[in-house]
Amino acid sequence: MNQKIPLSWLQLTREKTRLAVALAGISFADILMFMQLGFRDALYYSNVRFHNSLQGDIVLINSQSNAILAMRSFSQRRLYKALELPAVQSVHPIYLDFTIWKNPVTGRPRSILIFGMNPETNIVNLPGVQENLDKLKLPDVVLFDRSSRVEYGPIATNYDQGKAVAAEVRRRRIKVEGLFTLGASFGADGNLITSDINFLRIFSNRQKGLIDIGLIRLKPGADAKVVALELRKYLPNEVNVLTKQEFIDFERSYWANSTAIGFIFTLGTVMGFIVGTVIVYQILYTEVADHLAEYATLKAIGYTQNYLLTVILQEALLLALLGYFPGIVFALFMYKSAREATLLPVFMSFDRAIMVLILTMLMCIISGAIAVRKLRSADPADIF
């Protein structure tokens, strides 16, 4: 076994230029897969951060709602009807809608997502919300997401410097009296949180009794799945009853299956895999073709076909490992650049690193398995 690895290594390093080209191709394929998977996971994660932050057990939404981007309102009476169940501790209506924010410096308009909720109780586990709830009780006061894109203006910077921050939202003058952290997503570049009363002041055309999300907290020890099942029987079909995890999965499913962007990122990963497979195949096929006479000689002196196949597969694995490491290093740099440019949560995860490593090894093994077919033409009789 010790003699097999040096042979495969010597064959790879014999042509330094060819080896460098092969490793560059594999690294490029790995970077492509890393970026596509990174953006896909950022797509899913960024769009469910608000869902994850909810301090409740069950969520009610209109049955015609598809995602945060496409919510339909329903009567809050459906939510308060849930209080009739013994396991329900409290209910909390949430308003949300998109509107136009005008940059206070440039005057340029940009769409922003606003959440409206009762400031008496904190129902979202987000940094900066709890300590600023009392401020939301004042008229025309909002909290601004410090992780919003820079196109909204230097709001967080000015606020941190102690400056008074005001802006125009839906042609209404509002004051920023606090900051919180949620983050941009593929659906919203910026976010505001305000009280339910202020929300209805901004959206004067909205009816008070029509809400977008109903959050239910259960009493200690209550099973959310069991209570959700009871509520589905108890409430009309116009309301969709979901556990918190089902609400998260509901949003993820929308982006994965109902939009083109989720498919595009998956397709990009597949294309990276195919590109890498083709590159490695070309390298290994050329390697086998250039050494066909040597392989025939090895056969003539007693080495088996399986031994030669093992050598080629070892070369494939070596290429996979050598090409993977520069690929992941460059991907980390690209992730950092993408985070700074888009403010999206593009991070490397251990699971993704292992997944791409496995895909890289599989990619090279498939290429090697195809390339070794050329060995069948290595006939010892041809050299004698």
Tokens 């949300």, residue located: 96
Helix/strand/coil for 195: strand
pLDDT band at 208, cuts 50/70/90? confident
CA–CA gap between residue 307 and residue 183 (Å, rounded): 55
Please state the separation of Cα 96 from the chain's center in Å.
22
More confident residue, 314 or 33: 33
- The answer to whether 253 touches 68, Cβ cutoff 8 Å, is no
Please state the separation of Cα 121 from the chain's center in Å.
30
- The answer to whether 115 touches 95, Cβ cutoff 8 Å, is yes
Mean pLDDT for 132-157 is 94
CA–CA gap between residue 313 and residue 306 (Å, rounded): 10
Mean pLDDT for 164-177 is 93
pLDDT of residue 160 exceeding 90, the answer is yes
Counts of helices then strands in the chain (DSSP H, E): 12, 11
- In DSSP terms, 141 is beta-bridged to 175
- The answer to whether 42 touches 344, Cβ cutoff 8 Å, is yes
> Residue 146 has what pLDDT?
95
Residue type, 222: A
- HSE of 83, CA atoms in CB hemisphere, 13 A: 10
Residue type, 359: L
Mean pLDDT for 338-366 is 89
CA–CA gap between residue 91 and residue 215 (Å, rounded): 6
- Mean pLDDT score across all residues of the chain: 88
- The answer to whether 110 touches 101, Cβ cutoff 8 Å, is yes
Helix/strand/coil for 71: coil
